[in-house]
């Protein structure tokens, strides 16, 4: 049987999210590189995988998916017994996990993603950083992290007492931000800091970072 295919590149945060999930689930896959500098993601055949022209895209058997979080949701539901479950069987626990999955998308990612762009990606391409955008989004992210600090005094992980998809979805943005001035926002909150140390130490995540470094 042909392996699962992820079309993307390791520096892409959304691609990293899917790679982390596949590794955590101990699933075999092939990473199909997309030459984004040549604009391959804006042309066919890539557009038939993701009409929005963004990585990653996922293919397995007759399934073609895009949107990193939809891909991870498929993997955890399709392979509950493989690797780390990262979801709950209990519907109330799953409801709380659902809250934190939404929080990552609706509260954390908008500010964190803009900071990753300004401080992680723009410098790589020699583009000028906007101090106003950085300041505005550091303030927004700080407020989100105050909520996380409280949540993590009550629960070891965001989505419950063990590592779930809600934690995993944060890893790519955290990776870039921990290598930037934004690190101070995480380190000044002890529970957030301990949570980051814990989730970034997972062997699956080390493998994603190694793929990024090799890229």
Q: Which residues bind ligand GSH (CB under 6 A)?
A: 12-14, 41, 53-55, 67-69
Query: CB 9 → ligand GSH: shortest distance, Å?
Result: 8
User: 37 or 153: whose CB is closer to ligand GSH?
Assistant: 37
Query: CB 178 → ligand GSH: shortest distance, Å?
Result: 17
Three-state SS letters, the chain? CCCEEEEECCCCHHHHHHHHHHHHCCCCEEEEECCCCCCHHHCCCHHHCCCCCCCCEEEECCEEEECHHHHHHHHHHHCCCCCCCCCCCCHHHHHHHHHHHHHHHHHHHHHHHHHHHHHHHHHHHCCCCCHHHHHHHHHHHHHHHHHHHHHHHHCCECCECCCCHHHHCCHHHHHHHHCCCCHHHHHCCHHHHHHHHHHHCCHHHHHHHHHHHHC
User: 13 or 137: whose CB is closer to ligand GSH?
Assistant: 13
User: 57 or 97: whose CB is closer to ligand GSH?
Assistant: 57
Query: CB 69 → ligand GSH: shortest distance, Å?
Result: 6
Q: What angle do CA 17, 91, 155 make, to 5 degrees?
A: 65
Query: CB 174 → ligand GSH: shortest distance, Å?
Result: 14
Query: CB 202 → ligand GSH: shortest distance, Å?
Result: 20
User: 38 or 201: whose CB is closer to ligand GSH?
Assistant: 38
User: 167 or 189: whose CB is closer to ligand GSH?
Assistant: 167
Residue whose CB is nearest to ligand GSH in the complex, by number: 54
């Amino acid at each position: 049987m042909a392996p699962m295919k992820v079309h993307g590149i390791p520096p892409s945060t959304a691609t990293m999210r899917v790679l982390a999930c596949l590794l955590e689930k101990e699933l075999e896959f092939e990473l199909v590189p997309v030459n984004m500098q040549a604009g391959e993601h804006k042309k066919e055949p890539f557009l038939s995988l993701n009409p929005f022209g963004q990585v990653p895209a996922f293919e397995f058997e007759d399934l073609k998916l895009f949107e990193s979080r939809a891909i991870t949701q498929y993997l955890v539901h399709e392979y509950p017994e493989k690797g780390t479950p990262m979801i709950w069987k209990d519907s109330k626990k799953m409801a709380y996990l659902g809250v934190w999955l939404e929080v990552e998308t609706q509260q954390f990612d908008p500010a964190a993603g803009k900071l990753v762009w300004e401080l992680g990606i723009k410098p790589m391409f020699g583009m000028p950083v906007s101090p106003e955008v950085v300041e505005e989004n550091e303030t927004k992210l700080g407020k989100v992290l105050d909520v996380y600090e409280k949540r993590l005094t009550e629960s070891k992980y965001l989505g419950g007492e063990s590592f779930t998809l809600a934690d995993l979805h944060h890893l790519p943005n955290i990776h870039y931000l921990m290598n930037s001035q934004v690190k101070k926002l995480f380190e000044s909150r002890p529970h957030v800091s301990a949570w980051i140390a814990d989730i970034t130490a997972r062997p699956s995540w080390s493998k994603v970072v190694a793929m990024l470094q090799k890229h």
